[in-house]
Chains A and B, each alone.
Chain A
Amino acid sequence: MRQRPLSPHATVYRFQYTMIGSFAHRVSGLALSAGLLVFVAWLAAAAGGWGSYAAAVALLSGPFAKGVLALWLLAFCYHFFNGIRHLAWDLVFGLEKREARRSYRMAIIATLALFAALAWLLFARGGATP
């Protein structure tokens, strides 16, 4: 095969902090892809009856699993808000450097706010009581 230039050329650009946001979109997306397995396992466990569901709940309530779920939640919040930024860009909206930086900061703030709210609702409060 002929040697052709390959993307991405992450190293040829001068660093700017919005780059982290762009890369984090990929990383959080990949994390969510892995998280899809947990979502499906949750549905399959529920379909399997209360025994398998209890086993899944026990597995997911350990401290390590909770940490992973929290990271997954953070990835979701970020990918959600940064994804909306991407959709706005696709509509040729907010592409100017100043606007892109401002929307980046807004996305970070929204991510942290939603993450805090959801983490409190799902973990600290221990979920809704039956």
Chain B
Amino acid sequence: MSLRTPLGRVLGAGSAHEGAHHWTAQRATAVALTLLTIWFVVSIVRLPLADHASVTAWIAHGANPVLLALLAIVASWHSQLGVQVVIEDYVHGRHAKIALLLASTFAHVLIAAVAVLALLRIALRSFG
């Protein structure tokens, strides 16, 4: 016998009323990040990091700007999901919690946007 109410079963969203979207997104971004970070780390250790010309040439080369944009976006997304859970767990005041969740989300979107803009500037300059 199930303890769930008929309404709850129909809505299928669980007690949090939002389904498993957060959980699934955190795992999906985690899987993507294992692949992206392996690629990034292997690339970065072979790069002369202090040399601007070599670094920007590598960033603009081939599929690298796309992969770097994916890394920045997926990492920001995964980070946002993680920080959200930490705030929800440890910040108990209602207003403080909402304010922090908003600030964290804004900051993460901003980080991803700045990264994509920087990548576009570097990648497009290599054509000009």
Contacts and interface: CB of A to CB of B under 8 A. Distances in A.
Interface of A: 1, 6-8, 26, 29-30, 32-33, 36-37, 39-40, 43-44, 46-47, 49-50, 53-54, 57, 61, 76, 80, 83-84, 86-87, 90, 118, 121-122, 127-130
A73 to B, nearest CB: 10
B49 interface: yes
Given A30-B86, A84-B34, A130-B51, A118 B45 contact: yes
5 contacts: A36-B79, A44-B118, A80-B34, A127-B49, A128-B48
Given A6-B92, A46-B55, A128-B45, A36 B75 contact: yes
B92 to A, nearest CB: 6
Interface of B: 27, 30-31, 33-34, 37, 41, 44-56, 59, 68, 72, 75-76, 79, 82-83, 86, 89, 92, 94, 111, 114-115, 117-119, 121-122
B61 to A, nearest CB: 13
A76 B36 CA distance: 13
Given A39-B75, A83-B30, A127-B47, 19 more contacts: A36-B76, A39-B72, A39-B115, A40-B111, A43-B59, A43-B115, A43-B119, A46-B52, A46-B59, A47-B122, A57-B50, A80-B34, A83-B33, A84-B34, A118-B41, A122-B45, A128-B49, A129-B48, A130-B51
B121 A47 contact: yes
B47 A26 contact: no
Contacts of B111: 36-37, 40
A53 B79 contact: no
A102 to B, nearest CB: 21
Contact of A53 (B55, B83, B89, B114): B55
**The 8 A-B residue pairs with the shortest CB-CB distance in the complex, in nearest-first order:** A47-B118, A130-B48, A43-B118, A50-B52, A47-B121, A53-B52, A130-B51, A33-B79
A128 B46 contact: yes
Nearest to A125: B45
A127 to B, nearest CB: 5
A30 B83 contact: yes
A40 B73 CA distance: 11
Given A8-B89, A47-B121, A83-B34, A127 B79 contact: no
A29 B54 CA distance: 30
Contacts of B83: 30, 33
